[in-house]
Structure formats: C-alpha cells, structure tokens
Amino acid sequence: MFTQHHTAHWGRWREVGDRVFVRRNKTLDVNAGLVLGDDRCLVIDTRGSEREGLELYRAVRSITGLPHVVALTHSHFDHCFGTAVFAENQPDCEIWAHERAHADLATNGLQQRVEIASWLRESGEEVLAGELDAVRVTPPNRTMAADATIDLGGRQVVLHHPGRGHTDNDMVVEVPDADVTFVGDLLEQGAPPSFDHAYPLDWAPTLTRLLERVGSVIVPGHGDVVDPRFLMRQCAQIAEVADLARRLPSHLDDTDLEWHASRLAVGDQAGLIALRRAQEHLAELAQL
C-alpha cells in the first residue's frame, strides 16, 4: 500500500507512480495531476483561476514539453477555472469531462463565477475575487458519459463515471499501468466531504462500486494521497449520513437536524448540509 506523507510539500510535483505526478496546492488544499505518455501528457484539473492555471501550466512545462490533454474531474471552480490557459497555449487541446460537467459549465459557469467572487469578497479576499472576475469560463470540448480511453502514447488512461456522489458529473481518471486513480472530490483527505451539491443517498454506493476498480494509490481532490482503506472509511461515513436521513421524519427543522448532524462522523457542519440535501432527494423520490 502507498504510504501517506503527512508533511505537505505545497506547490511541488510528487511522483506517486511511474511518470504520474501530483501537485498539492495550498489554496483550498486542491490537487492537480500530471500523467506522462510517450507522445502526450494528461493534466488533471486546472485549479481555480487563470493565474493559478498559468502557475500550473508553467509547472507542467518544468516536467515535460509534450503536448497536453486536460481532464476535469468535475465542474466546480477550484478544479476547472484555470482551463483557458491550457486552451490558449495549445489551440488543439482536448479538454475532457463528463457530459453533465459540460452542461453545467456552459449553463451555470458564469453564475458560479459571480457567486464565488462574491463569497471571496465577503471573506475579505479581494485579490482572489478579482481573479475570479477575470476568468474565461472554458467548457470541455470532449465529453464522456460512462467510460472513455485516452491514448497518451505507450500508455492508456481511462476516464470513468462511477455514479453520482459529490456532484452528478464526477469523473475518475484511472492510470492502470501505474496503479494510480485520481478521484476528484469523491474523496477528500484532511477535511469532511463536501455535500453542497452532492447526492448523499447515491454517494456511498458510488464509492462501493469504485472500490472494485481503484488503484492502490488514490489521489483525492483535496489533501494527501490515500489508499483503498481510506476510501472504505469515508464510504462508511457517507453511508451513515444516508442511513440516518432515511430514518428521520421528513418534517424536521434545522434545529432538529443540527442535533442529529452533531452525532455524525462527517461532523456537524458537513452533516447538516448532507441531511438537508438528503431530505430534498427523499422528497423528490416520494413524488415519483
């Protein structure tokens, strides 16, 4: 099994498999990935602004001069708002994502930019908010629904959608010959799972299916590299949320939900958001 390194080396490439690299970035503790083939390289996620995207692009070029392909694990800004830099520096660049990520960015990308910039300003992060204002939202130009294979020359990488979880458009990047899997925000290390746009009732079954095919080295969307045992633990925590949500009366208000959330392994803040989301989905199911 891969051994975790608990001291973060911010902004440096770390080789976690044969010609497979992770760059852990201090802002939001978000990860970016790089996979080298003989003919092309694959960049996994582009960070949260064009300044950050340019920083990542230069970091990629410090490792390789190969033409690049981009894979976006999902449509949240911190994983994809640097994409314009990669498209600009290589006009024929393939940008891959799930088909629903394309739809979300094409339809809601500008609104997401406005909302995140507003949130940053309210948090006193005026400089970062200005960076968001300038982002050119760049939807993918290649999409997948189930599986797709990218040939990098001498090695193939598989793009896989295991089901709904953190979003409805999570895409996993598998590097079979290196036994490494990039899972985006389907897993988070060092912080609770994020449920704001999640599907708590579906998430644990999605992770259970994913367990059958992940490598021994798993790169989460945020935090340190983990292994299948970590996936199993986080799956159990998310399953606990879904089990509780199904047992609770549908009419509970936030005060009652907060009391129940405080007893969840994911923590009270994440648990409250998760229970609210689960209630919404249970109500939808009841109307079918």
Name the CATH code of domain 7-144 (choices 3.40.50.300, 3.20.20.10, 3.60.15.10, 3.10.50.40): 3.60.15.10
Q: Which H, E and C letters describe 233-264, residue by residue?
A: HHHHHHHHHHHHHHHCCCCCCHHHHHHHHCCC
DSSP string, 150-174: EE-SS-EEEEE---SSSSS---EEE
Query: What's the whole-model pTM score?
Result: 0.95
Rounded distance between C-alpha atoms, residue 17 and residue 214, angstroms: 14
Q: Are 15 and 63 in contact (CB under 8 A)?
A: no
Of 170, 277, 93, 47, the C-alpha closest to 58 is 47
Q: What distances in angstroms separate CA 109 from CA 105, 112, 136, one per listed residue?
A: 4, 5, 9
What are the start and end residues of each CATH 3.60.15.10 domain in the chain?
A: 7-144, 162-288
DSSP H helices in 49-163: 50-63, 77-80, 83-89, 99-122, 126-133
pLDDT tens for the chain, 288 residues: list them: 334 445 568 999 999 999 999 999 999 999 999 999 999 999 999 999 999 999 999 999 999 999 999 999 999 999 999 999 999 999 999 999 999 999 999 999 999 999 999 999 999 999 999 999 999 999 999 999 989 999 999 999 999 999 999 999 999 999 999 999 999 999 999 999 999 999 999 999 999 999 999 999 999 999 999 999 999 999 999 999 999 999 999 888 889 999 999 999 999 999 999 999 999 999 988 888
Between helix 200-211 and helix 228-247 the angle, nearest 10°, is 150
147 C-beta neighbours (distance < 10 Å), count: 11
- Helix (H) or strand (E) run with residue 20 in it: strand 20-25
For domain 162-288, which CATH number applies: 3.30.565.10, 3.40.50.300, 3.60.15.10, 2.102.10.10?
Answer: 3.60.15.10
